[in-house]
Structure 1
């Protein structure tokens, strides 16, 4: 019986890794327990530091990573069905290096030096895992740990300096310090110093980081038609958007925004729709930004395109979505994975990609440029940063999450606008078909009331404009570079130490060389 205990312990540890890895999901919307992010990693890290071997830590890191992906993306089940399980297993592999770092740096009884190194390298290792899975082909940067802090003003100020990456480093560093406090009495001094450092950094950034220079504003209306079903849902959705927009007449608007896929036919092939939109623009006195999900008349394939329509019809400003949702809008390696369309709601036909970002000048406000994004493009910090560098004064994300209406997805998606606004110092409008629609100011603060799921309404927001450049826009993903540099330096130290150990061992085990040359003469000779 005694010999069975180690094997049983390994199995129980492996089983515990999955829920331990899933815990951080509670910090994201819809639960929205943002404070929980600062302790959510502790159970998983305590498990990893006690692993009996590197192989066991790797297994628990893999399973915990898979648990995290499943928990944060569980709402994809209606689309992917059982395919979500192998996808989570694949992405979970990205946490193996982090798990090995945790065991190496926090395992046993680390001294002050190793504990201090852990406070830097463990967060850097987590960021490396997030960076790897942020590639569009692996699903993009959805559920980055720093994004759970979207409603915390102090952390949003951090994001203006180093983006969502710096916010994530802070969250993991606090978790790491708590693990040291709980499990390593000898490391309490560096742990307390780490917690103090995190607090000082946040406070310093709050006082020092430049705030957006607010100057002027816009009156922007968001039109949310709500849930529209039936075989003719595309036409009925357009009708609902038209009706709600018409009710905005007389409110001195600068822009009206419709959600993703709000128009189901190319306006070049449906001039009747173009005329109706032009009449709406004339009636409300503002251009209407719609989103066309249809086959293009001028090129093959289906595109999702942001199109600006004025009183004279389409203005010529058009943005074609560049980053598509894997399986939702295209199937990677369709020749091998096309079978997933038979077990879920994966795209039956691949959408086509746009090639370049687009800025749209508002008629009547030529100095104000709008930077459109479509759907989950709002999850990519580099896209909004590029638009602002090019001169965007207002960011707009047109989205549709009706497939996941009763899940956490709408709230998770809407929260991303706060991060993008804080990072760039520009207001952001997140307009959806069925909610949650929301608008955030240039510091990431929420403006007005969000439009809840299922609501069929239109809302007008007073949106402040801002000038200047945040450090995040100016220097880009510098926390990523710092993290990679720290991990590379640590790797070089390990390699150098291993080489030195091998050389020392070799010198100690090799026999001394035998003397060569003629024998020495004695004194008598």
Structure 2
């Protein structure tokens, strides 16, 4: 009997589904499960697939893992986008194909002390570049960044002000990679542990020495109005009006309504503007509302934050700048407009704003507004802090995803933005989860769940000063890109020299 020659080891049938499953394992680290302790280990099964026989196979398994990650972290979009969720996840998952090849190159083969030091840095840098690329608004924005899963962890809250969510993501992936090196390469174990201890000591020292925000001497009393699920713009306005009236005499300085809390142009409805002004006089507080309507003299529909005082709307208005892809506009509508026929994609594009503003109340409270999806973007809250805002207010609505993980995930982002910017963040929603966090990212008072139709009154201390992240921005991302560039250059030079020696 003649045996057929084989060209090499054949991939096992289980590797593809294993990569798909492993890619989804980080999802429980985020709310609602909130298994934050899982984040330092969640990538280990995916990274153990480093034994792919070829670089092409590693790229395939990287893509499948990316597909699994995007589906698991964004599964709550399925009721809105249906099959289009799978299409988007497959496209965005391609960003992990090069990462699969990078992980194979750095982790496959015998372990050495040099690899123990460089592999965690390289794999983590590659992951961070992927997070940066998919954070572009047109690709869905920075939802599900791994570092954001640590929003309630003390050490992470001290690192967010240093390097933002990017630094925490970088360190988490490095820890996952180091665990793989320790498990698979006994010879590199001590070098890996020593490098890890050095990085931990350095991070601790930097966090301790980093500049901190300066809280104000006087606390501001901020009220949040959460009407719950109410059908119809007129009925929602009425309920918010009744809830706000109940705050009279309680000393609130500002009352915050959620995103799309007013469904009519106040200039075209002076009766509603008058009712809001009357509420301001009755409560002794200014109202920050959000108008989701067409405005006179402007094209399309805008989502606009408006501060209303005793005499009516006052100060600069803020138009939401970062719109939700498919939810508030359809990218390349001429090509992707068919998404409106298979899900609840936007039938008409919203009109984006062009600049951020800082609003000031009559009592001198300087507030920087954000609208819903915008709390996912680290740069927006950082700019507001640099512009002099002492408090950041996020007006949101996740009523479409009421029974999913989305409301809790969205509220958790406010804690990350607070710690990064060194500013308290008030996250006010129509239907929950509403929450408030101080300048260090720690919760202030009880949060309002999705089952509540109520108000909440919170005491927060506005802050001034700059964190390291506000001053230096996304330096962790730049460091990751630089590491990859230098490492790529070294490999290229070695290959050229190797060819020359032949």
Give distance in 2, aligned partners of 1:190 and 1:401: 47
Matched residue SS, 1:211:
coil
Q: 1:4 to 1:287 in 2, by over 3 A?
A: farther
1:12 Cα offset (Å):
1.2
Count of residues in Structure 1 that have an aligned counterpart in Structure 2:
499
1:111 Cα offset (Å):
1.1
CA deviation vs aligned residue, 1:53-78 (integer Å, no higher than 9, x gap): 10011000000011000000000011
Give distance in 2, aligned partners of 1:3 and 1:25: 43
* 1:11-30 → structure 2 map (5 Å cutoff): 11-30=13-32
Q: Given the two structures, how large is their TM-score scaled by the length of structure 1?
A: 0.93
1:170 Cα offset (Å):
1.0
Contact 1:305 1:318 in 2 (8 A): yes
CA deviation vs aligned residue, 1:301-346 (integer Å, no higher than 9, x gap): 1000101100100004210001100000000111111111111000
Contact 1:174 1:194 in 2 (8 A): no
Contact 2:228 2:432 in 1 (8 A): yes
Give distance in 1, aligned partners of 2:162 and 2:112: 32
Contact 1:319 1:357 in 2 (8 A): yes
Question: Who is 2:53 aligned against?
Answer: 52
Give distance in 2, aligned partners of 1:145 and 1:332: 25
Question: Who is 2:407 aligned against?
Answer: 410
Q: 1:33 aligned to 2:35?
A: yes
Question: Who is 2:493 aligned against?
Answer: 496
1:7 Cα offset (Å):
8.4
Give distance in 2, aligned partners of 1:185 and 1:92: 32
Question: Who is 1:362 aligned against?
Answer: 361
Contact 1:447 1:463 in 2 (8 A): yes
1:296 Cα offset (Å):
1.0
Question: Who is 2:234 aligned against?
Answer: 235
Q: Given the two structures, how large is their TM-score scaled by the length of structure 2?
A: 0.97
* 1:455-474 → structure 2 map (5 Å cutoff): 455-474=452-471
Give distance in 1, aligned partners of 2:6 and 2:93: 28
* 1:168-207 → structure 2 map (5 Å cutoff): 168-207=169-208
Unpaired runs of at least 5, structure 2: none
Question: Who is 2:131 aligned against?
Answer: 130
Instruction: Give the alignment's Cα RMSD to 1 decimal.
Output: 1.6
* 1:286-435 → structure 2 map (5 Å cutoff): 286-365=285-364, 368-435=365-432
Q: 1:282 aligned to 2:284?
A: no
Give distance in 2, aligned partners of 1:157 and 1:277: 40
Give distance in 1, aligned partners of 2:274 and 2:360: 21
Give distance in 1, aligned partners of 2:6 and 2:412: 48
Give distance in 2, aligned partners of 1:33 and 1:205: 27
* 1:259-278 → structure 2 map (5 Å cutoff): 259-278=258-277
1:247 Cα offset (Å):
0.2
* 1:71-90 → structure 2 map (5 Å cutoff): 71-90=72-91
Q: 1:340 to 1:3 in 2, by over 3 A?
A: farther
Contact 1:257 1:290 in 2 (8 A): yes
Question: Who is 2:478 aligned against?
Answer: 481
Matched residue SS, 2:367:
strand
Q: If you compute each CA radius of gyration, which structure gives the higher value, 1 or 2?
A: 1
Give distance in 1, aligned partners of 2:224 and 2:202: 37
Matched residue SS, 1:444:
coil
Give distance in 2, aligned partners of 1:100 and 1:339: 34
1:471 Cα offset (Å):
0.4
